[in-house]
Amino acid sequence: MSNRFKPKYHIKKGDRVVVIAGNDKDLKKPREVHAVLMDKGRVIVEGVNVVTHHTKPNAQNTKGGIVKKEAPIHISNVMLWDAKSGAGTKVKIDRQDGKPVRISKKSGEAIK
């Protein structure tokens, strides 16, 4: 994907988010983002969309078996968590000291 049309997302790795759609929807339980897949528009969130993967025995894993891991979900299905208001929130970008800062629209606080 060219840099000219590169998407911009308000969610980063390590953010606390709530899942607002899908089987794991829970608006009161914040979870941590493990990875953001920018080119696909997806995020990997802890404990969400857990899938089972059957692995054969190999040199690294001599036993093989069933492995559970998180699969990516679409970035539109998560919303940033605002700790002050205790709910999900939209975000606006504001400049402070020449650097962009994410501001919660519910509480007006900066998101770290």
pLDDT value at residue 1: 58
Domain ranges within the chain, ordered by starting residue:
3-54+64-84
CA dihedral 45, 48, 52, 53 (to 10 degrees): -20
Query: Which residue do the tokens 């998101």 mark?
Result: 111
Which pLDDT tens digits describe the chain residue by residue (112 residues)?
Answer: 567 888 889 999 999 999 999 999 999 999 999 999 998 999 999 999 999 999 999 998 899 999 999 999 999 999 999 999 999 999 999 999 999 999 999 999 998 8
Count how many residues are written for the chain.
112
pLDDT value at residue 107: 92
Amino acid symbol at 16: R
pLDDT value at residue 91: 94
Return phi, psi of residue 3, to 5°: -70, -20
Q: Which residues pair with 70 in a beta bridge?
A: 50
CATH T-level assignment (fold) for domain 3-54+64-84: SH3 type barrels. (2.30.30)
Q: In whole angstroms, what is the distance from residue 101 CA to residue 13 CA? A: 16
Q: In whole angstroms, what is the distance from residue 111 CA to residue 33 CA? A: 14
Would you say 44 and 21 are in contact if contact means Cβ atoms under 8 Å apart? no
Q: What angle do CA 80, 86, 92 make, to 5 degrees?
A: 40
pTM summary value:
0.84
Tokens found for residue 93:
């970008």
Q: In whole angstroms, what is the distance from residue 42 CA to residue 71 CA? A: 10
